[in-house]
């Protein structure tokens, strides 16, 4: 690093320019990661926060994909699942989106219907026919608290509690009884007039034969994470944002690689001299890579710090930004790793520099 | 002998044929002496220097540096031989723009895996030996052409080489500075007992050397003590 350090301070302008590019790319990646995670949380936190490890959907006909919008399960389904060995709990869960009103306020909400006293809902013991538990966001939007009245699709209900920050498909969640949920949104697929729900939340242990349970019940069981792809808005939104993030990572690797390609070409004469003087190629490569890592690490840390500061400023605002180690540190690590890869591909041309060119008057 | 070139033949591709740059050349250079290699442009002087510097592998013949034959050595082993036993004074100073005069010398310790910081004392001592003690902190663009060439020479001596290869050291200098550089080279050769090969087209320099080897069309036609 003897020459590399001195190059960094000698060619200040070039390295500062490149460092600024790394800072800006890292800032952009950091902001996009926070926004992606924030939007995802708004979309799926009610599902990911369920105290269950798997969800059973009604098996879609004709090879269609699973969908929360289309799935309808019956009481027979969840009673069957409750008897399957290895399944410790099977709870029906109805999901629908509607409007809630309180006084002159209204808000779009997702109603999650559960059995009274179900552990699926926060303060589930207070969910009864005629009462609802609101997420804090729903309570805030409607301006109501415990004991107040809210109207869901024309039915007046009493707020039993405001708990948790669950949201689904960008709307805050209202936990209601399954009967209330059925009355709000009678499922189109109900056949026998009995109780229905959207999915069954399962708690299982390792011995559970889920495939056999699915075959017998006519359901399809997936993990909570796999079930997220059954939320149409989540799949398209998250896919687009992840694609943008991927492109930003690729662009950062390309930009860093391009810079170090030009830089290596520019100092080709110096490299030839050092090789002619006996410098081992591996030492020259390590020097060049070390230089790239210093630039990348410095730029990425600065960009990440700015992104974290921006994220902290956005926390609590209407912008769904998630500031977590995963949204800050992981993109930074990926930026450094991909940038280093781009630099490594660029500086490997050091190996092909001919020391013979240092002789003569050609330089 | 510290540098022995024995029956060296070197050819380059030239269209469908091969051009002979060196044709069965043998040259021995003892320590503590300066051997000048002279000849017209294209005669093979630079090729001879490149072979002696282990930067080019000859088609046939052997090179031995300080008694070590270079035949069969890997690139890494040749690089190690260059940094430990061979000093090269380039025609152009070829100094690294980001380094000061002292650091140009310290870098030689760095490429040999030693601490450049600890080599600073020796670098300053060598800069003093070439008359640049007060210029140690200057970068190449702050030095004159003659000063840069003296840094070039000091750098070649940094790792205590037994062989010093000097390529047209005065071509970019005026007569007075050229003479000063030659005095410096010959003095250092005798004091440090290096086997010095000086490639030059300037016959005025020959009075300062111990032996003269003349190359024509790739052949060594004369190797004799200088007059």
Helix axes A281-314, A325-347, angle to 10 degrees: 150
Select from A2, A3, A278 the Cβ nearest to the Cβ of B80.
Answer: A278
Is residue A36 pLDDT above 50, yes or no? Answer: yes
Residue among A359, A361, A362 with most chain B CBs within 10 A, to mutate: A359
The 3-class SS string of chain A reads CHHHHHHHHHCHHHHHHHHHHHHHHHHHHHHHHHHHHHHHHHHHHHHHCCCCCEEEEECCHHHCCCCCCCCCEEHHHHHHHHHCCCEEEEEEEEEEEEEEEECCEEEEEEEEEECCCCCCCCCHHHCCCCEEEECHHHHHHHCCCCCCEEEECCEEEEEEEECCCCEECCEEEEEEEHHHHHHHCCCCCCCCCCCEECEEEEEECCCCCHHHHHHHHCEEEEEHHHHHHHCHHHHHHHHHHHHHHHHHHHHHHHHHHHHHHHHHHHCHHHHHHHHHCCCCHHHHHHHHHHHHHHHHHHHHHHHHHHHHHHHHHHCCCCCCCCCCHHHHHHHHHHHHHHHHHHHHHHHHHHHHCCHHHHCCCCC
Q: Do A280 and B80 touch (CB under 8 A)?
A: yes
Mean pLDDT, all residues of chain A: 89
Which residues have a Cβ under 8 Å from the Cβ of A145 and sit 6 or more positions away? A139, A159, A162
Is residue B170 pLDDT above 90, yes or no? Answer: no
Q: Where are the domains of chain A?
A: 2-43+234-358, 60-217
pLDDT of residue A362: 43
Q: Where are the domains of chain B?
A: 3-225
Contacts of A274 in chain B (CB under 8 A): 96, 107, 111
Q: Do B167 and A360 touch (CB under 8 A)?
A: yes
Residue among B55, B82, B95, B113 with most chain A CBs within 10 A, to mutate: B55
Interface residues of B toward A, Cβ cutoff 8 Å, are: 46, 49-50, 53, 55-56, 75-76, 79-84, 86, 88, 90-92, 94, 96-99, 103, 106-108, 110-113, 116, 139, 155, 159, 167-168, 171
Q: What are phi and psi of B105, to 5 degrees?
A: -85, -40
* Domain B3-225 CATH assignment equals 3.90.79.10: no
pLDDT of residue B63: 94
Q: Distance (Å, rounded) from C-alpha A45 to C-alpha A65?
A: 21
| Cα dihedral B35, B172, B122, B68 sign | negative
Is residue A124 pLDDT above 80, yes or no? Answer: no
pLDDT of residue B25: 93
Question: Which residue matches tokens 């790792």?
Answer: B159
Q: Distance (Å, rounded) from C-alpha A60 to C-alpha A231?
A: 14
Residue of B nearest to A351 (CA): B75
Q: Do B84 and A278 touch (CB under 8 A)?
A: yes
Q: Beta strands of chain B (E only): which ranges? A: 3-14, 17-29, 33-38, 60-65, 68-69, 86-89, 163-167, 195-199, 211-216, 219-225
Question: Which residue matches tokens 């006909």?
Answer: A61
Whole-angstrom CA distances from B82 to A152, B26, B108, B117, B165 are 86, 20, 11, 22, 11
Residues 270-309 of A with CB under 8 A from B: 270, 273-281, 283
| Cα dihedral B197, B203, B207, B213 sign | positive
Question: Which residue matches tokens 């538990």?
Answer: A133
Beta strand pairing status for A171-177 and A219-223? unpaired
Select from B81, B91, B111 the Cβ nearest to the Cβ of A279.
Answer: B111
Contacts of B94 in chain A (CB under 8 A): 269, 273, 358, 363
Minimal C-alpha gap between A19 and chain B (Å): 19
Identify the weakest region by mean pLDDT among A254-258, A357-361, B147-151.
A357-361
Q: How far is CA B174 from the centre of its chain?
A: 20
Q: How many CB atoms lie under 10 A from the CB of residue B12?
A: 11
Query: In terms of Cα–Cα distance, which of A261, A264, A256, A258 is closest to A300?
Result: A256
Contact A40, A321 (CB under 8 A): no
Select from B49, B103, B108 the Cβ nearest to the Cβ of A277.
Answer: B108
Residues 304-363 of A with CB under 8 A from B: 355-356, 358-361, 363
Residue of B nearest to A274 (CA): B111
Burial of B137 (0-12, 13-18, 19+ CB in 10 A): exposed
Mean pLDDT (whole number) for A3-25: 91
Contacts of B157 in chain A (CB under 8 A): none
Identify the weakest region by mean pLDDT among A124-138, A189-203, A210-224.
A189-203
Beta strand pairing status for B33-38 and B195-199? parallel
A136-173 pLDDT, tens digit per residue, is 999 999 999 999 999 998 889 999 999 988 999 989 99
Residue of B nearest to A271 (CA): B96
Mean pLDDT (whole number) for A294-317: 91
At B22, the pLDDT band (50, 70, 90 cuts) reads very high
Is residue A117 pLDDT above 90, yes or no? Answer: no
Mean pLDDT, all residues of chain B: 89
- Range with the largest mean pLDDT of A55-64, A165-174, A318-327: A165-174
Contacts of A3 in chain B (CB under 8 A): 96, 98-99, 107, 110
Select from A10, A278, A355 the Cβ nearest to the Cβ of B98.
Answer: A10
Q: How many CA atoms lie within 13 A of A359 on its CB side?
A: 23
Q: Distance (Å, rounded) from C-alpha B160 to C-alpha B149?
A: 18
Which residues have a Cβ under 8 Å from the Cβ of B153 and sit 6 or more positions away? B89, B130, B166, B169, B181, B184, B185, B188
pLDDT of residue B226: 61
CA–CA–CA angle B139, B140, B144 (5° rounding): 120
Which token pair is A61?
Answer: 């006909």
Contacts of A9 in chain B (CB under 8 A): 98
Mean pLDDT (whole number) for A247-263: 89
A182-201 pLDDT, tens digit per residue, is 888 766 555 556 778 999 99
Is residue A360 pLDDT above 70, yes or no? Answer: no
Model pTM score: 0.78
pLDDT of residue B14: 85
pLDDT of residue A363: 40
ipTM summary value: 0.91
At B60, the pLDDT band (50, 70, 90 cuts) reads very high
């Amino acid at each position: 690093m003897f020459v590399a350090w001195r190059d960094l301070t000698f060619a200040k302008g070039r390295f500062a320019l490149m460092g600024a590019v790394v800072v800006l790319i890292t800032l952009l990646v950091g902001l996009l990661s926070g926004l992606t995670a924030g939007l995802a949380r708004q979309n799926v936190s009610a599902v990911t926060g369920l105290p269950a490890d798997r969800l059973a959907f009604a098996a879609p006909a004709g090879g269609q994909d699973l969908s929360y919008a289309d799935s309808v399960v019956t009481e027979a389904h969840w009673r069957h699942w409750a008897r399957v060995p290895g399944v410790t709990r099977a709870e029906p869960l109805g999901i629908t989106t509607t409007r809630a009103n309180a006084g002159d306020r209204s808000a779009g909400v997702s109603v999650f219907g559960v059995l009274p006293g179900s552990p699926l809902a926060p303060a589930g013991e207070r969910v009864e026919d005629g009462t609802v538990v609101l997420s804090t966001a729903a309570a805030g939007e409607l301006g109501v608290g415990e004991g107040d009245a809210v109207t869901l699709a024309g039915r007046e209900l009493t707020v039993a509690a405001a708990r948790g920050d669950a949201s689904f498909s960008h709307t805050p969640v209202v936990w209601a009884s399954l009967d209330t949920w059925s009355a709000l949104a009678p499922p189109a697929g109900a056949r026998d007039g009995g109780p229905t729900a959207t999915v069954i939340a399962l708690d299982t242990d390792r011995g559970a034969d889920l495939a056999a349970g699915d075959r017998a019940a006519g359901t399809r069981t997936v993990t909570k994470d796999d079930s997220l792809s059954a939320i149409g808005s989540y799949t398209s939104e998250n896919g687009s944002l992840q694609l943008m993030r991927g492109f930003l990572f690729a662009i950062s690797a390309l930009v860093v690689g391009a810079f170090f390609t030009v830089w290596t070409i520019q100092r080709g004469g110096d490299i030839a001299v050092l090789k002619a003087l006996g410098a081992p190629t591996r030492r020259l490569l390590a020097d060049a890579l070390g230089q790239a890592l210093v630039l990348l690490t410095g730029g990425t840390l600065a960009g990440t710090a700015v992104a974290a500061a921006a994220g902290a400023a956005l926390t609590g605002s209407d912008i769904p930004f998630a500031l977590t180690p995963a949204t800050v540190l992981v993109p930074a690590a990926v930026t450094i790793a991909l940038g280093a890869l781009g630099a490594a591909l660029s500086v490997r041309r050091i190996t092909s520099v001919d020391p013979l060119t240092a002789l003569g008057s050609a330089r | 002998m510290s540098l022995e070139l024995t029956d060296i033949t070197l050819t380059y591709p030239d269209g469908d044929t091969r051009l002979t740059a060196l044709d069965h050349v043998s040259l021995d250079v003892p320590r503590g002496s300066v051997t000048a290699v002279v000849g017209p442009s294209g005669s093979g002087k630079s090729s001879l220097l490149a072979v002696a510097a282990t930067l080019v592998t000859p088609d046939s013949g052997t090179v031995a540096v300080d008694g070590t034959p270079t035949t069969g050595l890997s690139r890494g082993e040749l690089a190690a031989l260059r940094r430990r036993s061979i000093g090269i004074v380039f025609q152009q100073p070829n100094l690294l723009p980001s380094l000061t005069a002292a650091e140009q010398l310290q870098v030689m310790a760095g490429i040999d895996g030693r601490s450049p910081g600890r080599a600073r004392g020796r670098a300053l001592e060598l800069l003093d030996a070439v008359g640049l003690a007060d210029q140690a902190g200057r970068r190449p663009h702050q030095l004159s052409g003659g000063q840069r060439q003296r840094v070039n020479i000091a750098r070649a001596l940094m790792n205590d080489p037994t062989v010093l290869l000097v390529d047209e050291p005065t071509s970019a200098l005026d007569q007075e500075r050229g003479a000063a550089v030659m005095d410096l080279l010959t003095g250092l050769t005798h004091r440090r007992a290096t086997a010095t090969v000086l490639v030059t087209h300037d016959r005025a320099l020959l009075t300062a050397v111990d032996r003269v080897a003349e190359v024509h069309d790739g052949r060594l036609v004369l190797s004799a003590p200088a007059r």
